[in-house]
Amino acid sequence: MLSITRRDFLNGALLGAGAGLLARSPPGLGAGPVYARPGADWYGYGGIGDYAASHGNTPDVVATAHALRDGRLDFTTAVVDTGETFDAIIVGGGLAGLGAAYEFTQQAASGQCLILENHPVFGGEAKRNEFLVDGVRLIAPQGSNGFSVPGVDEGAHASADALYYDALGVPRQFSYQGWQSDRPPLKLAPDHASFLYWLNHRADVGYFFAQGEGVRVARNPWDDALAQTGYPARVREQLLAWRYATGKPGAGADDVRWLDTMSYQTYVEQIMGLDPAVTAFADPILAFAVGLGCDAVSAYAAYAILFPGVINFYRPEVKDFTAFERHSFPGGNDGFARHFLKKIIPAAIAGYHTFAAIMNGAVNFAALDRAGQRVRMRLGATAVRVEHDGEPARSTAVFVIYHRDGKLYRVRARGVVMAAGGWMGKHVVRDLPDSYRQAYASFRHAPFLVANVALTNWRFLYDAGITACRYDDGVFGHACNLRQPMIVGDYRPPNDPQRPAVLTFYVPFFYPGAATAEQCSRGRTELFTTAYAGYEQRIVEQLRRLFGTGFVAERDLAGIILNRWGHAYVVPEPGFYFGRDGRPAARDIIREPCGRIAFGHSELQGNQHWGPAAAEGARAMRQILERG
């Protein structure tokens, strides 16, 4: 393996500022320049290891998806019929697709299943980045990240997680690296979300406030009722009332459903009677969790993630929150994706079926698509046309055309599970009924950026007394943090401010006050038109703003990987969960099979999470197996 050096980082900064999005399209996508094909200065460094070629949406995936959306795919190009027929084809190799494939192995007595995955590596947004810095291997999540062991989590997802947790053989206890420095220890969060609200007592968090030419840091500000922050007294009172609210919307099911009739902003400002300063404070936290801020998101979505006011997580009578545990595998929820793959195609990951082997073993790409095995996975294969061989109600098969390496191929199946995102599915399924198209038209998808910044050391954080940051006037995102390293077999990263680590930024794009569709579109435009060097420069500037001369890029920074997800979240607007104005929820329409095609993707949950995503795929697989 090769190590990225500080020279690699500095060379990256010399790339041009243009996004390079206007470039010639790949074969099979039609001629001429298109707004679809990011150039070399857009994608950037990918790290080392099996996932290096697939960090976020790849340029090829972006090109093919945009060409399909815009009707520019050239179907006059010869389509190669592979002659293959499968009992089931799954479009999408993320957690929903893997859940569908696992269900096939459990429910189908015989037959074969093919997974078509458009990226070079399976997992969807549950993938990892890897670095080698000064001889230290470091792993970080590309996106999907964080979980609770079923039976501990009080949230809405525990039952879905429990469907798979023990069946996959995931441990219920984990080892974390202890403090290795001779300096006084600091607390590190177990994941990249909980320090913002849910378990901020598990980390040393700094809230940064502009002060003259510099910044002021309020360290662990909730410990002293926000006294360090400099917020006006009324704002402090309002934020504390929000955080520790004792009221509930009610104990009955009707009361919970009522939350879906309004935005979280309406709930906080009109039902709770709190100031807009509270929703402004909550915006980046909620956007981190479900894509956009309080003005766009249903209050029921806040309820489902244990957010203040609607669920009362920080109840005054609870004095000890240590029972509420969160965990994060080194590569985020890629740990669950790898466990699914090992169950589905045992030879796909080297080694025995043990936790350490599954997490650390190399991916055997040659084993993924072997003829004769029950489940096969074809990487770099983007489904571009799915259509019944006749009237859906009477058809006996479904044809699938996919794009791979500049060519179009056709395969056949008795049934198809659409486990890829609905923003693609609505273009791919050619005989989709109007009711489904109208349902999908109501979905809004928010983009997201995850930046993993490899450091040679993190003394600049230690000297500030923190391991996590929140800031509201930055040039890049709103928060970043280090995790306490999980030990997995021989993967034992250091926990010492003098040694290498990964600082991770989860960056939502939200614009309060604008319509949901406009917010999503503006975010995607920024995500897709900003060059790697542009974000690189913003990250360096952000760290300099926060830490001044304590941070020296040439000394402290080893490399940056950007993971751009153009449609990371479906935005659960009011009515998403239970419908509104007497109309059913769009997701309930989509959950019904259409002939021999069933839809099971993570966004149908609204609050996207690993277990429910797999369960959606499994439900869709059962639907096509029942059709026979």
389 in a structural domain: yes
CATH number of the domain that residue 507 is part of: 3.90.660
DSSP conformational letter for 238 = H
Q: Which pLDDT value is given to residue 274?
A: 96
Mean pLDDT, residues 191-208 taken together: 94
State whether the Cα torsion 609-615-619-620 is positive or negative: positive
Whether 498 and 449 share a structural domain: yes
Whether 502 and 522 share a structural domain: yes
pLDDT tens digits for 553-587? 999 999 999 999 999 999 999 999 999 888 999 99
Weakest mean pLDDT among 45-59, 297-311, 509-523? 297-311
Q: Which domain covers residue 262, as residue numbers?
A: 224-304
Q: What is the largest CA-CA distance in the chain?
A: 72
Residue 65's pLDDT band (cuts 50, 70, 90): confident
Whether 138 and 26 share a structural domain: yes
Tokens of 459: 């003394």
Q: How far apart are CA 420 and CA 288, in angstroms?
A: 22
CATH number of the domain that residue 601 is part of: 3.50.50.60
Q: Which pLDDT value is given to residue 151?
A: 74
Whether 450 and 437 share a structural domain: no
195 in a structural domain: no
Q: Which pLDDT value is given to residue 213?
A: 75
215 in a structural domain: no
Torsion of CA 292, 295, 300, 304, to 10 degrees: 40
Residue 476 has pLDDT above 90, yes or no: yes
Q: How far apart are CA 291 and CA 447, in angstroms?
A: 7
Amino acid at 264: Y
Mode of pairing for the β-strands spanning 416-418 and 597-599: parallel
- Cβ neighbourhood burial of 393 (10 Å; 0-12, 13-18, 19+): exposed
Residues 6 or more apart whose Cβ sits within 8 Å of residue 502:
129, 131, 138, 139, 140, 452, 453, 454, 455, 482, 483
Residue 322 has pLDDT above 70, yes or no: no
Tokens of 543: 């760290």
Residue 254's pLDDT band (cuts 50, 70, 90): low
Residue 619 has pLDDT above 80, yes or no: yes
Q: How far apart are CA 98 and CA 115, in angstroms?
A: 8
354 in a structural domain: no
Residue 240 has pLDDT above 60, yes or no: yes
Query: Where does a domain end: 269, 287, 304?
Result: 304
324 in a structural domain: no
Q: Which pLDDT value is given to residue 7?
A: 35
Residues 6 or more apart whose Cβ sits within 8 Å of residue 252:
none
Whether 586 and 438 share a structural domain: yes
Q: What is the DSSP string of 41-56?
A: HHH----SSTTTT-SS
pLDDT tens digits for 392-407? 999 999 999 999 998 9
Q: Which pLDDT value is given to residue 579?
A: 95
Weakest mean pLDDT among 300-309, 453-462, 591-600? 300-309
601 in a structural domain: yes
Q: Which pLDDT value is given to residue 323?
A: 66
Q: How far apart are CA 56 and CA 46, in angstroms?
A: 10
Q: How far apart are CA 302 and CA 314, in angstroms?
A: 14
Query: Where does a domain end: 268, 287, 304?
Result: 304
287 in a structural domain: yes
Q: What's this model's pTM, rounded to 2 decimal places?
A: 0.93
Whether 267 and 374 share a structural domain: no
Residue 2's pLDDT band (cuts 50, 70, 90): very low
34 in a structural domain: yes
Instruction: Compute the mean pLDDT over every residue in the chain, rounded to the nearest whole number.
Output: 90
Backbone phi, then psi, for 488, in 5-degree steps?
-135, 105
Whether 496 and 407 share a structural domain: no
Mean pLDDT, residues 148-156 taken together: 64
Backbone phi, then psi, for 286, in 5-degree steps?
-65, -40
Whether 138 and 113 share a structural domain: no
Whether 139 and 23 share a structural domain: yes
Residue 67's pLDDT band (cuts 50, 70, 90): confident
Mean pLDDT, residues 2-6 taken together: 38
Q: How far apart are CA 175 and CA 163, in angstroms?
A: 24
Whether 530 and 589 share a structural domain: no
Query: Where does a domain end: 570, 604, 619?
Result: 570
Q: Which pLDDT value is given to residue 162?
A: 87
Whether 378 and 432 share a structural domain: yes
Whether 10 and 139 share a structural domain: yes
User: Considering its fold, how many domains does the chain have in total?
Assistant: 3
Torsion of CA 612, 613, 619, 622, to 10 degrees: -130
